[in-house]
């Protein structure tokens, strides 16, 4: 029996920025703290996803809006718990030369720390800037989608800890139905700026769909998400085609020059 693909659906419209997901992720995976400092970015002291930060709650300050219209209030927050997207076509996996990065039976992307050699090829091939190397051991680390918990039939720590169910975990097909229903509900209530990011290959052809997708209340750039992420290896075939055409053109030019010289001797 085939194990169904699993993933996350994050509904940013109900995120309250409590950071329970961040804490639960660090506790379960025994990740070190990010340090006690003031980043200057509202209540955001983790700044971005990192080798030791597998969940990041972004606090995006902007001029307050109400259904797309600005108001007299000074600002509002966009809140989002970001995570590795476990792309259907994962640049990190395709770039890994040692086989350290594999796709699990849940169709998620997992880094095997005992195989990783710290080359960093995966880091530059992630279109979302998720994966990175730790300073202490040089190996690459990122969200495992709590692979160890999934094997025991337990939901990931971040989804378990979320008090508002902003982070939903489950089978991808079920999550997509949930996301569509939630989007339609918000549109009926007049929240026309709500939309889904990365739910299918049609939404994200550059990565062929994400296993961690989001309901956003603004364009992806506002959340520091790329609007059109593309796995670098996706353009390799086209590059080889261009090179082949160039080589054929050079060969034809050389052949023509040879024939021309032969004619001049006669």
Among 83-97, 162-176, 236-250, name the one with the lowest average pLDDT. Answer: 236-250
pLDDT of 255 reads 73
C-alpha distance from residue 244 to each of 195, 234, 237, 238, 240 (Å): 41, 17, 11, 10, 6
User: Would you say 126 is a known binding-site residue?
Assistant: yes
- In the predicted model, what is the mean pLDDT of residues 160-164? 98
User: Would you say 25 is a known binding-site residue?
Assistant: yes
**pLDDT tens per residue, range 38-62:** 777 778 888 899 999 999 999 998 8
User: Would you say 18 is a known binding-site residue?
Assistant: yes
Tokens of 13: 């419209």
User: Would you say 15 is a known binding-site residue?
Assistant: yes
pLDDT of 46 reads 87
Position 202 in a domain: yes
Q: Are residues 56 and 137 in the same domain?
A: yes
- The residues, ordered by sequence, that sit 6+ positions from 227 with a Cβ below 8 Å of its Cβ are 219, 220, 221
**pLDDT tens per residue, range 235-259:** 654 544 555 566 666 766 667 667 6
pLDDT of 124 reads 95
User: Would you say 125 is a known binding-site residue?
Assistant: no
Q: Are residues 128 and 250 in the same domain?
A: no
Q: Are residues 71 and 156 in the same domain?
A: yes
With bands split at pLDDT 50, 70 and 90, how would you rate the model's confidence at 144? very high
Half-sphere exposure of 257 (CA within 13 A, CB side): 6
Position 177 in a domain: yes
User: What CATH number corresponds to the domain at position 112?
Assistant: 3.30.70.20
């Amino acid at each position: 029996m085939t194990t169904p693909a699993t993933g996350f659906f994050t509904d940013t419209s109900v995120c309250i920025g409590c950071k329970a997901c961040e804490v639960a992720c660090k506790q379960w995976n025994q990740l070190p703290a990010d340090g006690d400092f003031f980043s200057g970015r509202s209540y955001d002291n983790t700044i971005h996803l990192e080798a030791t930060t597998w969940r990041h709650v972004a606090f995006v300050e902007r001029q307050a809006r109400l259904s797309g219209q600005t108001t007299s209030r000074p600002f509002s927050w966009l809140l989002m718990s970001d995570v590795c997207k476990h792309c259907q076509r994962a640049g990190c996996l395709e770039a890994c030369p040692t086989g350290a990065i594999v796709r699990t039976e849940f169709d998620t992307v997992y880094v095997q720390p005992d195989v990783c050699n710290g080359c960093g090829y995966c880091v530059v091939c992630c279109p979302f800037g998720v994966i990175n190397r730790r300073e202490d051991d040089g190996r690459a680390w990122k969200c495992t989608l709590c692979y160890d918990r999934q094997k025991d039939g337990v939901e990931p720590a971040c989804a378990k800890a979320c008090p508002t169910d902003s982070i939903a975990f489950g089978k991808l097909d079920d999550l997509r139905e949930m996301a569509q229903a939630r989007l339609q509900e918000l549109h009926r209530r007049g929240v026309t700026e709500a939309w889904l990011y990365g739910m299918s290959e049609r939404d994200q052809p550059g990565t062929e769909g994400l296993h961690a997708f989001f309901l956003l209340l603004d364009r992806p750039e506002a959340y520091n998400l790329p609007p059109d992420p593309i796995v670098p290896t996706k353009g390799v075939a086209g590059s080889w085609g261009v090179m082949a055409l160039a080589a054929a053109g050079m060969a034809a030019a050389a052949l023509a020059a040879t024939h021309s010289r032969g004619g001049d001797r006669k």
